[in-house]
Amino acid sequence: MAYLLNPLDSILVLLPALAANGAPVLLRYKGTPIDRGLVLRDGRPLLGPGKTWEGLIIGFLYGSTVALFLAALVCSPIIFYGGVLAALGALLGDMLGAFIKRRIGLERGAPAPVLDQLDFYSGALYMLYSAHLVLNPWIILGFAPVVMALHRATNTAAHKLRLKPVPW
């Protein structure tokens, strides 16, 4: 049976996805690549060096911590459950985005407008949907431009703080 989340709860489960996606950049470009340098037949990496185990773990822990905090704030276990799923989905969506970027020939860190901003958001939504947690459709739509703007702003900030070599 599907569980319908009201608008506020829909926002609360999405916030950990944003946190999970933003956290790995704090690694300052170091870590063990998930694809271990594997190159596919097209001569390009499976995912590339920008997707690391450390990034995955830090993102997941950070997203889950935010989920725990928000769940405690509103005393709702479903917010924790949904937030953890959304964090995981965001990280997997970002990996799928990197896979697609490599297949179309874009180097690690090359900008892919829309894909860069919405890969993790779609991943989070997909994961929640698979777990039968249905978000408010207006929040899903309304949050998309917010996610894009936030992604842009945080990446510019990370670039200024010298955490990232490019501002996207």
Q: Which residues bind Mg ion (CB under 5 A)?
A: 94
Tell me whether residue 12 or residue 46 sits nearer to ligand CTP (CB atom): 46
- Of the chain, the end-to-end C-alpha distance in Å amounts to 39
- 94 forms part of the interface with ligand CTP (CB under 6 A): yes
DSSP 98-152: HHHHHHTTPPTT---TTHHHHHHHHHHHHHHHHTTEEPPHHHHHHHHHHHHHHHH
**Number of neighbouring beta carbons within 10 Å of residue 52:** 20
Stretches 4-12, 24-32, 64-72, 131-139: which one binds ligand CTP (CB under 6 A)? Answer: 24-32
Residue 96 binding ligand CTP, by CB under 6 A: no
Give the one entry of Mg ion, ligand CTP, none that residue 33 binds, where binding means its C-beta sits below a cut-off of 5 to 8 angstroms depending on kind. none
- As measured in angstroms, the least distance from the Cβ of 70 to Mg ion is 23
- Interaction of residue 98 with ligand CTP, rule CB under 6 A: yes
Residue 42 burial by Cβ neighbours in a 10 Å radius (0-12, 13-18, 19+):
exposed
Q: Which stretch in 65-73, 77-85, 95-103, 139-147 sits in contact with ligand CTP by CB under 6 A?
A: 95-103
Nearest to 20 by CA among 88, 104, 121: 88
- Taking residues 47 to 86 in sequence order and writing x for each that binds ligand CTP by CB under 6 A, - otherwise, the string is -x-xxx-xxx------------------------------
**Residue bearing tokens 């955490």:** 163
CB 86 within 8 A of CB 131: no
Read off the amino acid at residue 2.
A
Residues forming contacts to ligand CTP in the complex (CB under 6 A) are 24-25, 27, 29, 31, 48, 50-52, 54-56, 91, 94, 97-98, 101, 108-110
